[in-house]
Amino acid sequence: MMQDIRMLKAGEQGLIVEFGTEIDPVINARVHRLAKTLKAKMPEYIQDVVPTYRSLMVYFDPLAISRETLQENIAQYLDDLGSVSAASDTARIITIPVSYGGEFGPDLEFVAKHNSITEDEVVAIHTSIPYLVYMLGFAPGFPYLGGMSERIATPRLASPRVKIPAGSVGIAGKQTGIYPLESPGGWQLIGRTPLTLFDPLAENPFVFAAGDYLQFNAIKMDEYAALKEQVASGNYAPVARNVAREEA
């Protein structure tokens, strides 16, 4: 378990635990299992943990625990976790309703033509599987998703848009993602969700977290409008279910 793992100093209060060099769901699962373990077993020492594709940034209190002791504890936890199958973990799959095409997805036609398929086929492929949220970044709540089919991979826009509406769903290369806030961007826009993905005033500002899975679900324009009203009034909660990680 430890042979591919490095621990690197990151300032006086930071430690990076690096799991290999590849972007892989199994590696990412290990990152999240260690994050969960540290928060559960060392709350008095750990200030925060930030998971990425293949590493975990650990912020600790150097006045409460030494770096050496922390590394020894992490090494022990990693050995213990190595005997437990990642498939035994549970995963949360969150349904993201999306209205595709039209004013919400102005680039859907281009994505279809670029891949020599129909717009309906793009939507069918895009909604066919749940996507792992490897990490959040770029903007608050922006998910870096893995698993998109290469059948709908499309290059970024040659000239990025100055303003992309919050909730826009896009494709860039072999990745798909959602803009949680209005911002500039160069992704090909194929649809929009009525969900509010980032609310800084909420008890939990984010709809999803790294380690979750997102399942896109196509809805019609009238459904979008109805859901938008429910979200605005606080009467809508995203649909989520827990499954064994091997089923995700």
Are 114 and 218 in a shared domain?
yes
| Contact indicator for 239, 96 with CB cutoff of 8 Å | no
Q: What is the mean pLDDT of residues 45-67?
A: 93
DSSP H/E element including 240? strand 240-244
For the stretch 176-194, pLDDT in tens is 999 999 999 999 999 999 9
The answer to whether the CB of 170 falls within 8 A of the CB of 202 is: no
**pLDDT at res. 87:** 46
If you compute the radius of gyration of the chain from its CA atoms, what whole number of angstroms results?
20
Is the pLDDT reported for residue 26 higher than 90?
A: no
What is the pLDDT averaged over residues 225-237?
93
Total domains in the chain come to: 2
Residue 54 identity: R
Instruction: Summarize pLDDT for 73-117 with one digit per residue, the tens.
Output: 999 998 877 655 454 567 899 999 999 999 999 999 999 999 999
Q: Is the pLDDT of residue 247 over 70?
A: no
> Do 240 and 95 form a contact (C-beta atoms < 8 A)?
yes
Task: Give the domain CATH number at 75.
Answer: 3.30.1360.40
Query: What would the mean pLDDT of 206-210 be, rounded to a whole number?
Result: 89
Q: Point out the domain boundary residue: 70, 88, 106.
A: 88
Kindly state whether residues 176 and 237 are assigned to the same domain: yes
Confidence of residue 32 (pLDDT cuts 50, 70, 90): confident
Q: DSSP secondary structure string, 137-202?
A: -SSTT-EEEE---GGG-BPPPSS-EEEE-TTEEEEEBTEEEE-SS-EEE-SEEEEE--S--B-TTS
Same domain, 66 and 119: no
Same domain, 82 and 159: no
Percentage of the residues of the chain whose pLDDT score is greater than 90: 67
pLDDT surpasses 60 at 1: no
pLDDT at position 14: 95
Q: Average pLDDT, whole number, for the chain?
A: 90
Same domain, 63 and 114: no
- Asked whether residue 53 falls in the same domain as residue 170, the answer is no
Pair (212, 103) in one structural domain? yes
| pLDDT tens, position by position, 130-188 | 999 988 877 888 998 988 999 999 999 999 999 999 999 999 999 999 999 999 999 99
Helix (H, G, I), strand (E, B) or coil at 123: helix
Considering only 29-33, 125-129, 135-139, 238-242, which range has the smallest mean pLDDT? 135-139
pLDDT at 218 exceeding the cut of 60: yes
pLDDT in the model for residue 74: 94
Question: Which of 26, 57, 88 is a domain's end point?
Answer: 88
What CA–CA distance (Å, rounded) separates 120 from 106? Answer: 14
Q: How far apart are CA 245 and CA 88, in angstroms?
A: 7
Do 60 and 105 reside in the same domain of the chain?
Answer: no
3-state secondary structure of 63: coil
Residue 22 lies in domain? 5-88
* DSSP 3-state percent helix, strand, coil across the chain (nearest 5): 30, 30, 40
The answer to whether the beta carbons of residues 187 and 105 sit under 8 Å apart is no
Hey, which residues does 192 pair with through a beta bridge? 99, 168
Per cent of the chain over pLDDT 70 is 94
Under 8 Å between Cβ of 17 and 5 = yes
Both 24 and 78 in a single domain? yes
Report the Cα 63 to chain-centroid distance in Å.
33
Same domain, 217 and 147: yes
The contacts of residue 52 (CB under 8 Å, 6+ apart) are: 31, 134, 135
Distance CA 40, CA 59 (A): 15
Q: Which residues contact 103 (CB under 8 A, 6 or more apart)?
A: none
245 vs 47: which has the higher pLDDT: 47
Lowest mean pLDDT across 20-29, 119-128, 214-223 = 20-29
Other CB atoms within 10 Å distance of the CB of residue 114: 16
Do 78 and 169 reside in the same domain of the chain? no
The CATH number that applies at residue 98 is: 2.40.100.10
Please indicate whether residue 52 or residue 81 has the higher confidence score (pLDDT): 52
**Same domain flag for 78 and 109:** no
